[in-house]
Structure 1
Amino acid sequence: MKLVWSPETASKAYLDTVKTCELSNESSVAEMISAMAAGWNARLIVETWTKGGVMATSIGLAIASHHTGGKHVCIVADEASRMEYIEAMEKAGKSPPQVIVGEPEEAAEGLEGGIDFMVVDCRQSEFARIFKVAKLGERGAVLICKNAFSKLASDFRWNSVLDAKSRIVRSVFLPVGNGLDIAHVGAKSENSSGTRKGAGRWIKHINRETGEEFVIRK
Protein backbone atom coordinates (compact mmCIF):
# COMPACT_ATOMS: atom_id res chain seq x y z
CA MET A 1 0.00 0.00 0.00
CA LYS A 2 1.09 3.56 -0.64
CA LEU A 3 -0.38 7.04 -0.34
CA VAL A 4 -2.93 7.54 -3.10
CA TRP A 5 -4.07 10.98 -4.19
CA SER A 6 -7.81 11.77 -4.03
CA PRO A 7 -8.64 15.03 -5.86
CA GLU A 8 -12.24 14.97 -4.62
CA THR A 9 -11.27 14.87 -0.94
CA ALA A 10 -8.57 17.49 -1.53
CA SER A 11 -11.09 19.81 -3.18
CA LYS A 12 -13.57 19.48 -0.30
CA ALA A 13 -10.93 20.26 2.32
CA TYR A 14 -9.63 23.17 0.27
CA LEU A 15 -13.06 24.77 -0.06
CA ASP A 16 -13.90 24.25 3.62
CA THR A 17 -10.60 25.86 4.62
CA VAL A 18 -11.24 28.80 2.28
CA LYS A 19 -14.57 29.43 3.99
CA THR A 20 -13.07 29.18 7.47
CA CYS A 21 -9.77 31.03 6.96
CA GLU A 22 -10.68 33.65 4.36
CA LEU A 23 -9.68 36.54 6.63
CA SER A 24 -6.32 35.07 7.64
CA ASN A 25 -3.09 36.44 6.19
CA GLU A 26 -1.80 32.84 6.09
CA SER A 27 -4.87 31.48 4.32
CA SER A 28 -3.09 30.58 1.08
CA VAL A 29 -0.73 28.31 3.04
CA ALA A 30 -3.57 26.83 5.12
CA GLU A 31 -5.69 26.02 2.08
CA MET A 32 -2.83 24.33 0.25
CA ILE A 33 -1.69 22.27 3.24
CA SER A 34 -5.27 21.27 4.09
CA ALA A 35 -5.90 20.10 0.53
CA MET A 36 -2.64 18.14 0.50
CA ALA A 37 -3.33 16.36 3.80
CA ALA A 38 -6.87 15.47 2.71
CA GLY A 39 -5.89 14.57 -0.84
CA TRP A 40 -3.28 12.09 0.39
CA ASN A 41 -5.88 10.64 2.79
CA ALA A 42 -3.55 11.12 5.76
CA ARG A 43 -4.47 8.95 8.74
CA LEU A 44 -2.03 10.51 11.22
CA ILE A 45 -1.39 14.23 10.83
CA VAL A 46 1.23 15.82 13.09
CA GLU A 47 2.18 19.49 13.40
CA THR A 48 4.39 21.58 15.64
CA TRP A 49 3.12 24.95 16.81
CA THR A 50 4.85 27.92 18.41
CA LYS A 51 3.17 30.17 20.98
CA GLY A 52 1.78 33.25 19.28
CA GLY A 53 1.77 31.57 15.88
CA VAL A 54 -0.93 31.97 13.24
CA MET A 55 -3.70 29.36 13.59
CA ALA A 56 -4.81 29.05 9.97
CA THR A 57 -2.62 26.04 9.18
CA SER A 58 -3.84 24.22 12.30
CA ILE A 59 -7.44 24.90 11.34
CA GLY A 60 -6.75 23.61 7.84
CA LEU A 61 -5.24 20.41 9.23
CA ALA A 62 -8.23 19.93 11.53
CA ILE A 63 -10.52 20.24 8.50
CA ALA A 64 -8.40 17.75 6.56
CA SER A 65 -8.47 15.19 9.39
CA HIS A 66 -12.26 15.51 9.48
CA HIS A 67 -12.47 14.63 5.79
CA THR A 68 -10.07 11.69 6.04
CA GLY A 69 -11.29 10.39 9.39
CA GLY A 70 -7.69 10.56 10.55
CA LYS A 71 -6.03 11.69 13.76
CA HIS A 72 -4.62 15.20 14.19
CA VAL A 73 -1.87 15.79 16.76
CA CYS A 74 -0.19 19.07 17.68
CA ILE A 75 3.13 19.27 19.54
CA VAL A 76 3.83 22.39 21.63
CA ALA A 77 6.70 23.42 23.88
CA ASP A 78 4.95 24.12 27.18
CA GLU A 79 1.67 24.28 29.07
CA ALA A 80 1.12 27.97 28.25
CA SER A 81 1.35 27.16 24.55
CA ARG A 82 -1.07 24.27 24.96
CA MET A 83 -3.68 26.48 26.61
CA GLU A 84 -3.29 29.22 24.00
CA TYR A 85 -3.56 26.71 21.16
CA ILE A 86 -6.69 25.05 22.53
CA GLU A 87 -8.35 28.41 23.19
CA ALA A 88 -7.59 29.61 19.67
CA MET A 89 -8.97 26.44 18.09
CA GLU A 90 -12.15 26.64 20.13
CA LYS A 91 -12.53 30.31 19.20
CA ALA A 92 -12.33 29.28 15.55
CA GLY A 93 -15.13 26.79 16.15
CA LYS A 94 -12.92 23.71 15.84
CA SER A 95 -12.50 20.89 18.32
CA PRO A 96 -8.86 20.90 19.45
CA PRO A 97 -6.82 17.88 18.39
CA GLN A 98 -4.62 15.89 20.74
CA VAL A 99 -2.05 18.35 22.08
CA ILE A 100 1.28 16.99 23.36
CA VAL A 101 3.58 19.12 25.50
CA GLY A 102 7.33 18.56 25.24
CA GLU A 103 10.34 18.54 22.96
CA PRO A 104 9.19 17.71 19.40
CA GLU A 105 11.52 14.74 18.91
CA GLU A 106 10.54 13.18 22.25
CA ALA A 107 6.84 13.67 21.50
CA ALA A 108 7.19 12.18 18.01
CA GLU A 109 8.89 9.08 19.40
CA GLY A 110 5.91 8.50 21.69
CA LEU A 111 3.27 8.60 18.93
CA GLU A 112 1.51 5.35 18.09
CA GLY A 113 1.29 4.48 14.41
CA GLY A 114 3.15 5.88 11.43
CA ILE A 115 2.96 9.54 10.49
CA ASP A 116 1.42 10.19 7.05
CA PHE A 117 1.58 13.98 7.07
CA MET A 118 3.77 16.31 9.13
CA VAL A 119 4.05 20.11 9.23
CA VAL A 120 6.95 21.67 11.15
CA ASP A 121 7.52 25.38 11.78
CA CYS A 122 11.02 26.44 10.69
CA ARG A 123 10.99 29.34 13.14
CA GLN A 124 11.51 26.89 16.00
CA SER A 125 15.09 26.32 17.04
CA GLU A 126 16.37 22.84 16.17
CA PHE A 127 13.19 22.31 14.13
CA ALA A 128 14.82 19.64 11.93
CA ARG A 129 15.50 17.20 14.79
CA ILE A 130 11.94 15.88 14.75
CA PHE A 131 12.35 14.48 11.23
CA LYS A 132 15.24 12.29 12.39
CA VAL A 133 13.12 10.42 14.95
CA ALA A 134 9.62 10.60 13.42
CA LYS A 135 8.11 7.18 12.68
CA LEU A 136 6.77 7.54 9.16
CA GLY A 137 3.86 5.49 7.83
CA GLU A 138 4.29 2.31 5.81
CA ARG A 139 2.37 3.97 2.95
CA GLY A 140 4.87 6.82 2.80
CA ALA A 141 4.54 10.38 4.07
CA VAL A 142 4.38 14.02 3.08
CA LEU A 143 6.67 16.28 5.14
CA ILE A 144 6.41 20.07 5.14
CA CYS A 145 8.55 22.83 6.60
CA LYS A 146 6.54 26.05 6.75
CA ASN A 147 8.13 29.50 7.16
CA ALA A 148 11.00 28.05 5.17
CA PHE A 149 12.38 31.52 4.38
CA SER A 150 13.48 31.67 8.02
CA LYS A 151 17.22 32.04 8.61
CA LEU A 152 17.08 28.89 10.72
CA ALA A 153 16.14 26.93 7.58
CA SER A 154 18.83 28.39 5.31
CA ASP A 155 21.04 25.27 5.48
CA PHE A 156 18.25 22.71 5.72
CA ARG A 157 18.41 19.66 3.40
CA TRP A 158 15.99 16.73 3.41
CA ASN A 159 18.73 14.18 2.80
CA SER A 160 20.48 15.27 5.98
CA VAL A 161 17.52 14.56 8.28
CA LEU A 162 15.94 11.43 6.78
CA ASP A 163 17.48 8.00 7.29
CA ALA A 164 18.79 5.85 4.45
CA LYS A 165 15.59 3.81 4.30
CA SER A 166 13.45 6.88 3.57
CA ARG A 167 13.23 7.18 -0.20
CA ILE A 168 12.45 10.74 -1.31
CA VAL A 169 10.15 10.49 -4.31
CA ARG A 170 10.26 14.21 -4.93
CA SER A 171 10.84 17.48 -3.10
CA VAL A 172 9.90 21.04 -3.96
CA PHE A 173 10.26 24.54 -2.52
CA LEU A 174 7.23 26.79 -2.99
CA PRO A 175 7.34 30.58 -2.42
CA VAL A 176 3.90 30.47 -0.79
CA GLY A 177 3.41 32.50 2.36
CA ASN A 178 6.78 32.53 4.11
CA GLY A 179 7.97 29.55 2.10
CA LEU A 180 7.06 25.86 2.02
CA ASP A 181 9.72 23.15 1.71
CA ILE A 182 7.94 19.88 0.86
CA ALA A 183 9.15 16.30 0.56
CA HIS A 184 7.21 13.21 -0.49
CA VAL A 185 8.69 10.06 1.04
CA GLY A 186 7.86 6.80 -0.74
CA ALA A 187 6.16 3.75 0.75
CA LYS A 188 8.36 1.40 2.74
CA SER A 189 9.09 -1.48 0.39
CA GLU A 190 12.57 -2.25 1.65
CA ASN A 191 13.80 -4.89 4.06
CA SER A 192 16.09 -4.33 7.01
CA SER A 193 19.20 -4.56 4.87
CA GLY A 194 18.07 -1.55 2.85
CA THR A 195 17.44 -3.41 -0.45
CA ARG A 196 14.08 -4.05 -2.03
CA LYS A 197 12.52 -7.43 -1.28
CA GLY A 198 13.09 -9.83 -4.14
CA ALA A 199 15.41 -7.46 -5.94
CA GLY A 200 18.88 -8.42 -7.08
CA ARG A 201 22.12 -6.53 -6.75
CA TRP A 202 23.17 -4.18 -9.55
CA ILE A 203 26.84 -4.40 -10.61
CA LYS A 204 28.64 -2.02 -12.95
CA HIS A 205 31.30 -3.44 -15.25
CA ILE A 206 33.58 -1.51 -17.65
CA ASN A 207 35.24 -3.25 -20.59
CA ARG A 208 38.86 -2.09 -20.34
CA GLU A 209 39.50 -2.67 -24.08
CA THR A 210 36.45 -0.91 -25.56
CA GLY A 211 35.54 1.43 -22.72
CA GLU A 212 31.94 0.21 -22.86
CA GLU A 213 30.01 0.25 -19.61
CA PHE A 214 27.57 -2.52 -18.67
CA VAL A 215 25.17 -2.67 -15.75
CA ILE A 216 24.05 -6.17 -14.82
CA ARG A 217 21.86 -7.58 -12.07
CA LYS A 218 22.78 -10.67 -10.06
Structure 2
Amino acid sequence: MKLEWSPEMAAKAFMDTVKSCELYQGSSVTELISAMAAGWNAKLIVETWSHGGLLTTSIGLAVASTHTCGRHVCIVPDQDSGTEYATAMEKFGMSPEVIVGDPETVVKELELVIDFLVVDSRRNEFAGILKAAKFGHRGAVLVCKNVNLRVGSDFRLRSLFDDGGSRRIVRSVFLPVGNGLDIAHVAAVGPGSGEIKTRRWIKRVDRESGEEFLIRK
Protein backbone atom coordinates (compact mmCIF):
# COMPACT_ATOMS: atom_id res chain seq x y z
CA MET A 1 0.00 0.00 0.00
CA LYS A 2 1.18 3.54 -0.67
CA LEU A 3 -0.04 7.10 -0.39
CA GLU A 4 -2.78 7.65 -2.94
CA TRP A 5 -3.82 11.07 -4.17
CA SER A 6 -7.46 12.20 -4.03
CA PRO A 7 -8.02 15.35 -6.11
CA GLU A 8 -11.58 15.68 -4.80
CA MET A 9 -10.45 15.76 -1.18
CA ALA A 10 -7.67 18.21 -2.02
CA ALA A 11 -10.10 20.56 -3.77
CA LYS A 12 -12.53 20.56 -0.86
CA ALA A 13 -9.79 21.31 1.67
CA PHE A 14 -8.40 24.03 -0.58
CA MET A 15 -11.72 25.84 -0.82
CA ASP A 16 -12.48 25.53 2.89
CA THR A 17 -9.03 26.88 3.71
CA VAL A 18 -9.58 29.85 1.41
CA LYS A 19 -12.73 30.65 3.36
CA SER A 20 -11.02 30.24 6.73
CA CYS A 21 -8.03 32.40 5.75
CA GLU A 22 -9.88 35.08 3.78
CA LEU A 23 -8.77 37.73 6.26
CA TYR A 24 -5.11 36.98 5.56
CA GLN A 25 -3.11 38.37 2.67
CA GLY A 26 -0.95 36.05 0.59
CA SER A 27 -2.12 32.78 2.12
CA SER A 28 -1.31 30.67 -0.96
CA VAL A 29 1.15 28.56 1.04
CA THR A 30 -1.56 27.68 3.54
CA GLU A 31 -4.01 26.63 0.85
CA LEU A 32 -1.40 24.52 -0.92
CA ILE A 33 -0.32 22.67 2.23
CA SER A 34 -3.92 22.09 3.28
CA ALA A 35 -4.83 20.66 -0.13
CA MET A 36 -1.78 18.38 -0.05
CA ALA A 37 -2.54 17.01 3.42
CA ALA A 38 -6.15 16.32 2.49
CA GLY A 39 -5.34 15.00 -0.97
CA TRP A 40 -2.96 12.41 0.50
CA ASN A 41 -5.65 11.47 3.05
CA ALA A 42 -3.25 12.04 5.94
CA LYS A 43 -4.46 10.40 9.16
CA LEU A 44 -1.76 11.85 11.41
CA ILE A 45 -0.72 15.41 10.62
CA VAL A 46 2.09 16.83 12.75
CA GLU A 47 3.51 20.35 12.76
CA THR A 48 5.86 22.39 14.95
CA TRP A 49 5.09 25.92 16.15
CA SER A 50 6.59 28.44 18.58
CA HIS A 51 5.76 31.83 20.07
CA GLY A 52 5.08 34.50 17.45
CA GLY A 53 4.75 32.11 14.53
CA LEU A 54 2.15 32.51 11.80
CA LEU A 55 -1.06 30.54 12.29
CA THR A 56 -2.21 30.30 8.70
CA THR A 57 -0.48 26.96 8.08
CA SER A 58 -2.03 25.57 11.25
CA ILE A 59 -5.48 26.66 10.12
CA GLY A 60 -4.98 24.91 6.80
CA LEU A 61 -3.81 21.70 8.46
CA ALA A 62 -6.77 21.77 10.85
CA VAL A 63 -9.12 22.10 7.87
CA ALA A 64 -7.39 19.18 6.14
CA SER A 65 -7.71 16.96 9.20
CA THR A 66 -11.48 17.48 9.27
CA HIS A 67 -11.70 16.19 5.71
CA THR A 68 -9.52 13.13 6.35
CA CYS A 69 -11.02 12.43 9.79
CA GLY A 70 -7.43 12.50 10.96
CA ARG A 71 -5.48 13.64 13.97
CA HIS A 72 -3.80 17.07 13.89
CA VAL A 73 -0.97 17.48 16.40
CA CYS A 74 0.99 20.66 17.02
CA ILE A 75 4.26 20.43 18.98
CA VAL A 76 5.28 23.56 20.89
CA PRO A 77 8.50 24.07 22.92
CA ASP A 78 6.97 25.59 26.07
CA GLN A 79 3.71 26.18 27.91
CA ASP A 80 3.47 29.86 26.93
CA SER A 81 3.63 28.92 23.25
CA GLY A 82 1.02 26.23 23.85
CA THR A 83 -1.38 28.66 25.49
CA GLU A 84 -0.87 31.27 22.79
CA TYR A 85 -1.42 28.71 20.04
CA ALA A 86 -4.51 27.13 21.56
CA THR A 87 -6.13 30.49 22.32
CA ALA A 88 -5.53 31.79 18.80
CA MET A 89 -6.83 28.62 17.13
CA GLU A 90 -9.96 28.64 19.27
CA LYS A 91 -10.87 32.01 17.74
CA PHE A 92 -11.24 30.15 14.43
CA GLY A 93 -13.29 27.41 16.04
CA MET A 94 -10.40 24.93 15.85
CA SER A 95 -8.79 22.88 18.59
CA PRO A 96 -5.83 20.79 17.37
CA GLU A 97 -4.07 18.58 19.88
CA VAL A 98 -1.16 20.50 21.46
CA ILE A 99 1.87 18.72 22.92
CA VAL A 100 4.42 20.71 24.93
CA GLY A 101 8.04 19.60 24.91
CA ASP A 102 11.24 19.36 22.92
CA PRO A 103 10.01 18.72 19.35
CA GLU A 104 12.55 16.02 18.54
CA THR A 105 11.82 14.15 21.77
CA VAL A 106 8.06 14.42 21.30
CA VAL A 107 8.27 13.09 17.73
CA LYS A 108 10.32 10.13 18.95
CA GLU A 109 7.73 9.31 21.60
CA LEU A 110 4.66 9.56 19.35
CA GLU A 111 3.09 6.11 19.28
CA LEU A 112 1.44 6.56 15.88
CA VAL A 113 3.19 6.85 12.54
CA ILE A 114 3.17 10.22 10.79
CA ASP A 115 1.59 10.71 7.36
CA PHE A 116 2.20 14.44 6.93
CA LEU A 117 4.90 16.47 8.72
CA VAL A 118 5.46 20.23 8.54
CA VAL A 119 8.58 21.83 10.05
CA ASP A 120 10.26 25.23 9.90
CA SER A 121 13.77 25.03 8.48
CA ARG A 122 14.72 28.26 10.28
CA ARG A 123 14.80 26.29 13.52
CA ASN A 124 18.00 24.38 14.16
CA GLU A 125 16.25 21.22 15.37
CA PHE A 126 14.32 20.62 12.15
CA ALA A 127 16.80 17.99 10.88
CA GLY A 128 16.58 16.05 14.14
CA ILE A 129 12.78 16.09 13.98
CA LEU A 130 12.80 14.65 10.46
CA LYS A 131 15.21 11.88 11.42
CA ALA A 132 13.23 11.00 14.55
CA ALA A 133 9.85 10.82 12.80
CA LYS A 134 8.22 7.42 12.34
CA PHE A 135 6.59 6.69 9.01
CA GLY A 136 4.31 3.79 8.14
CA HIS A 137 4.25 1.43 5.18
CA ARG A 138 2.41 4.09 3.16
CA GLY A 139 5.34 6.47 3.46
CA ALA A 140 4.86 10.15 4.28
CA VAL A 141 4.96 13.69 2.93
CA LEU A 142 7.39 16.19 4.45
CA VAL A 143 7.08 19.95 4.13
CA CYS A 144 9.90 22.32 5.14
CA LYS A 145 8.95 25.99 5.31
CA ASN A 146 11.20 29.05 4.91
CA VAL A 147 13.86 27.16 3.00
CA ASN A 148 15.13 30.13 1.01
CA LEU A 149 16.61 31.41 4.26
CA ARG A 150 18.93 28.39 4.36
CA VAL A 151 21.35 27.08 1.76
CA GLY A 152 21.04 23.66 0.16
CA SER A 153 17.95 22.48 2.02
CA ASP A 154 17.06 19.86 -0.59
CA PHE A 155 20.56 18.42 -0.39
CA ARG A 156 20.29 18.15 3.41
CA LEU A 157 16.88 16.51 3.16
CA ARG A 158 18.27 13.76 0.95
CA SER A 159 21.28 13.31 3.18
CA LEU A 160 18.92 12.55 6.08
CA PHE A 161 17.11 9.74 4.27
CA ASP A 162 19.07 8.41 1.29
CA ASP A 163 21.64 6.66 3.43
CA GLY A 164 20.89 3.04 2.67
CA GLY A 165 18.53 2.75 5.64
CA SER A 166 14.85 1.86 5.80
CA ARG A 167 13.62 5.13 4.29
CA ARG A 168 14.35 7.08 1.15
CA ILE A 169 13.05 10.13 -0.70
CA VAL A 170 11.09 9.10 -3.78
CA ARG A 171 10.77 12.63 -5.11
CA SER A 172 11.22 16.17 -3.89
CA VAL A 173 10.51 19.64 -5.22
CA PHE A 174 11.27 23.23 -4.27
CA LEU A 175 8.41 25.71 -4.67
CA PRO A 176 9.17 29.46 -4.62
CA VAL A 177 5.98 30.35 -2.73
CA GLY A 178 5.91 32.25 0.53
CA ASN A 179 9.44 32.09 1.88
CA GLY A 180 10.08 28.90 -0.06
CA LEU A 181 8.92 25.32 0.43
CA ASP A 182 10.79 22.04 0.12
CA ILE A 183 8.32 19.16 -0.27
CA ALA A 184 9.38 15.53 -0.26
CA HIS A 185 7.65 12.17 -0.49
CA VAL A 186 9.43 9.68 1.75
CA ALA A 187 8.84 6.00 1.06
CA ALA A 188 9.34 3.33 3.67
CA VAL A 189 11.57 0.58 2.32
CA GLY A 190 11.59 -2.75 4.07
CA PRO A 191 10.93 -6.48 3.84
CA GLY A 192 7.99 -7.25 1.57
CA SER A 193 7.93 -3.80 0.04
CA GLY A 194 8.76 -5.23 -3.35
CA GLU A 195 11.32 -2.51 -4.01
CA ILE A 196 14.70 -3.31 -5.49
CA LYS A 197 17.47 -1.13 -4.17
CA THR A 198 19.87 0.27 -6.71
CA ARG A 199 22.72 2.67 -6.11
CA ARG A 200 23.59 5.46 -8.48
CA TRP A 201 25.27 8.85 -8.38
CA ILE A 202 23.17 11.97 -8.87
CA LYS A 203 24.56 15.46 -9.42
CA ARG A 204 22.68 18.27 -7.72
CA VAL A 205 23.39 21.99 -7.96
CA ASP A 206 22.70 24.30 -5.02
CA ARG A 207 20.14 26.91 -6.08
CA GLU A 208 21.88 29.82 -4.37
CA SER A 209 25.60 29.13 -4.28
CA GLY A 210 25.87 27.24 -7.58
CA GLU A 211 27.96 24.59 -5.83
CA GLU A 212 27.68 21.04 -7.16
CA PHE A 213 27.08 17.99 -4.96
CA LEU A 214 27.28 14.30 -5.79
CA ILE A 215 24.71 12.16 -3.98
CA ARG A 216 24.77 8.39 -4.03
CA LYS A 217 21.20 7.08 -4.27
The 8 Å contact of residues 76 and 82 in structure 2, kept in 1 or not, is answered as yes
How many angstroms apart in 2 are the aligned matches of 1:175 and 1:56? Answer: 18
Number of aligned positions between the proteins: 195
Matches within 5 A, 1:84-123: 84-94=84-94, 96-123=95-122
How many angstroms apart in 2 are the aligned matches of 1:199 and 1:16? Answer: 37
Over 4 Å off, 4+ runs: 196-202
Q: Which amino acid aligns with 1:101?
A: V
Cα gap change, 1:158 to 1:199, in 2 (>3 Å): closer
> How does the TM-score come out when normalised to structure 1?
0.84
The 8 Å contact of residues 46 and 75 in structure 1, kept in 2 or not, is answered as yes
| Superposed displacement of residue 155, structure 1 | 3.8
Residue 28 of structure 1 corresponds to 28
Residue 210 of structure 1 corresponds to none
- 1:124 aligned counterpart, secondary structure: coil
How many angstroms apart in 1 are the aligned matches of 2:74 and 2:114? Answer: 12
| Superposed displacement of residue 23, structure 1 | 2.2
Q: Which amino acid aligns with 1:61?
A: L
Residue 154 of structure 1 corresponds to 151
How many angstroms apart in 1 are the aligned matches of 2:189 and 2:171? Answer: 17
Cα gap change, 1:197 to 1:80, in 2 (>3 Å): closer
Residue 120 (structure 2) pairs with residue 128 (structure 1):
no
The 8 Å contact of residues 50 and 124 in structure 1, kept in 2 or not, is answered as no
Cα gap change, 1:126 to 1:67, in 2 (>3 Å): same
Gaps of 5+ in 2: 199-217
How many angstroms apart in 1 are the aligned matches of 2:151 and 2:194? Answer: 40
Residue 204 of structure 2 corresponds to none
How many angstroms apart in 1 are the aligned matches of 2:105 and 2:197? Answer: 37
| Superposed displacement of residue 32, structure 1 | 0.2
Cα gap change, 1:198 to 1:149, in 2 (>3 Å): closer
Residue 145 of structure 1 corresponds to 144
Matches within 5 A, 1:23-62: 23-62=23-62
Cα RMSD between the aligned structures?
2.0
How many angstroms apart in 2 are the aligned matches of 1:159 and 1:169? Answer: 10
Deviations 1:143-181 (A, max 9, x none): 00011122xx32432122225221211100000101000
Deviations 1:165-208 (A, max 9, x none): 2121110000010100010112x3422xxxx6667888xxxxxx
How many angstroms apart in 1 are the aligned matches of 2:196 and 2:71? Answer: 38
Q: Which amino acid aligns with 2:21?
A: C
Mean Cα deviation higher: 164-173 or 75-84: 164-173
> How does the TM-score come out when normalised to structure 2?
0.84
Residue 73 of structure 1 corresponds to 73
Mean Cα deviation higher: 118-127 or 141-150: 118-127
Cα gap change, 1:197 to 1:183, in 2 (>3 Å): closer
Cα gap change, 1:158 to 1:200, in 2 (>3 Å): closer
How many angstroms apart in 2 are the aligned matches of 1:201 and 1:122? Answer: 29
Cα gap change, 1:197 to 1:124, in 2 (>3 Å): closer
How many angstroms apart in 2 are the aligned matches of 1:52 and 1:77? Answer: 12
Q: Which amino acid aligns with 2:51?
A: K
Residue 171 of structure 2 corresponds to 170
Q: Which amino acid aligns with 1:171?
A: S
Gaps of 5+ in 1: 203-218
